[in-house]
Amino acid sequence: MTKTHVTATVNGDPVEFLADPRETLLDCLRDHLGLTGSKEGCGTGDCGACSVLLDDVLVCSCLVLGVEAQGARVETVEGMAQGGTLHPLQRKFIEHAALQCGFCTPGILVAAKALLDRNPDPTESEVRFGLAGNLCRCTGYDKIVRAVLDAAAEMRGAQ
- Give the burial string for 121-133 (b: 16+ CB within 10 Å, else e): ebeeeebeebbeb
CB of 65 to ligand FES, least distance (A): 13
**Strand ranges, E, within 22-96:** 51-54, 57-60, 73-75
Measured from the CB atom, the residue of 76 and 105 that comes closer to ligand FES is: 105
Measured from the CB atom, the residue of 47 and 112 that comes closer to ligand FES is: 47
7 SS3 class: strand
Residue from the set 4, 15, 43, 67 that interacts with ligand FES by CB under 6 A: 43
Q: Please answer whether residues 110 and 81 qualify as being in contact, where contact means their C-beta atoms are separated by less than 8 angstroms.
A: no
CB of 148 to ligand FES, least distance (A): 14
Stretch that binds ligand FES, among 28-36, 43-51, 66-74, 80-88 (CB under 6 A): 43-51
- In angstroms, the CA 13 to CA 24 distance is 20
Q: Rule CB under 6 A: which of 67-106 touch ligand FES?
A: 99-105
Is 46 an interacting residue with respect to ligand FES (CB under 6 A)?
yes
Tell which residue, 110, 84, 82, has the closest CA to residue 25.
110
Q: Please answer whether residues 132 and 48 qualify as being in contact, where contact means their C-beta atoms are separated by less than 8 angstroms.
A: no
Residue from the set 74, 139, 150, 151 that interacts with ligand FES by CB under 6 A: 139
Residue from the set 42, 67, 86, 155 that interacts with ligand FES by CB under 6 A: 42
Is 50 an interacting residue with respect to ligand FES (CB under 6 A)?
yes
Nearest-Å Rg of the Cα atoms of the chain is 16
Hey, what's the torsion of the CAs at 138, 142, 146, 149, to 10 degrees? 100
Stretch that binds ligand FES, among 65-73, 85-93, 130-138, 151-159 (CB under 6 A): 130-138
Q: Which residues bind ligand FES (CB under 6 A)?
A: 40-43, 45-50, 60, 62, 99-105, 136-139
